[in-house]
Amino acid sequence: MQQNSTVTEFVLLGLTQDPLKQKMVFVIFLFLYMGTVLANTLIMVTIKFSRKLGSPMYFFLFYLSLTDYCFSTTIAPRLIVDALSAKKTIFYNECMTQIFALHLFGCMEILVLILMAVDRYVAICKPLYYPVIMSRQICVSLIIFSWLGSFFHATTQVILALRLLFCGPNSIDHYCCDLQPLMKLACMDTYMINLLVVTNSGALCSSSFIILLISYFVILHSLLNHSVEGRRKALSTCTSHVTVVVLSFGPCIFIYARPPTTFPMDKMVVLFYTIGTPLLNPLIYTLRNAEVKCAMKNLCHI
């Protein structure tokens, strides 16, 4: 990977410089990451081997769990290892790779959440056409296009990162590589690059969030014509989806859809949507979904 600077490695300052707090970071995030891996793996295995969870909604939930697993793995292991490392360095090429993976899986999560909203819209508002519109072939095609779209988005972010010129300080005041902290170290005018980041990542998060809110508003409005039982079941599912959407998009919009300004809570916000959200998503879907809990119990009894 060709680099456009004299810097060959960066130093990640992490969450804290205090030795005692670093040990706490190691323990806390090790358990959080293990919980994320176990929870998302359990959901994927349950959906894969349960015949009752063969609908498109669970097909997309499988990929949401896969994305959460990969998204967390992009950040958490290095954060955990660096907490006990004396020298927290990351090579230039590794930094670019982390940016690519971060945006690949981050974008994929957004697109999968959109597909899940589409699935609920068709199931509730167009039930007679649901088997045709959301056929297995169409669902697979939608996931493939989502991966391609995510790959294109991540590639765009890496291209922007490669345009940054570094010729001096190499200490990143963060625990991971991303465009915002890197732009603070660049010895060049980053106005246009930041503008492209906002119009790319920021617009993606903001527009997707608005589209999802509108779609769920339409879904909830259409529930007025359903039976009490059907309304209760649909509301339970939609509430889970809306909760995940808010938890995923809120921090993303806060970080990417704004001018190049640094706030003290930036690290905590990024921490929440890169490590916290991938852990909360499977808990939200399992705790509020009777079918998933039943399938898990049946799987454990095999």
pLDDT at 2: 46
Of all helices (H) and strands (E), which one includes residue 12? strand 9-12
Can you read off the two tokens belonging to residue 126? 């167009």
Task: Give 215-241 pLDDT, tens digit per residue.
Answer: 888 887 777 776 676 677 667 767 777
Fold observed for domain 9-300: Rhopdopsin 7-helix transmembrane proteins (1.20.1070)
Are the C-beta atoms of residues 201 and 184 closer than 8 Å to each other? Answer: no
Question: Cα separations (Å) of 8 from 122, 168, 241?
Answer: 51, 11, 43
Task: Give 151-160 pLDDT, tens digit per residue.
Answer: 999 999 999 9
Task: Give 176-216 pLDDT, tens digit per residue.
Answer: 898 888 888 888 888 888 888 888 887 888 888 888 888 88
The domain segmentation of the chain, as residue ranges, is: 9-300
> Is pTM, for the whole model, over 0.85?
yes
DSSP string, 247-263: HHHHHHHHHHSS-S---
Q: Given a cut of 50, is residue 245 above it in pLDDT?
A: yes
Are the C-beta atoms of residues 33 and 275 closer than 8 Å to each other? Answer: yes
Q: Given a cut of 70, is residue 99 above it in pLDDT?
A: yes
DSSP string, 115-173: HHHHHHHHHHH-GGGHHHHT-HHHHHHHHHHHHHHHHHHHHHHHHHHHT----S--EES
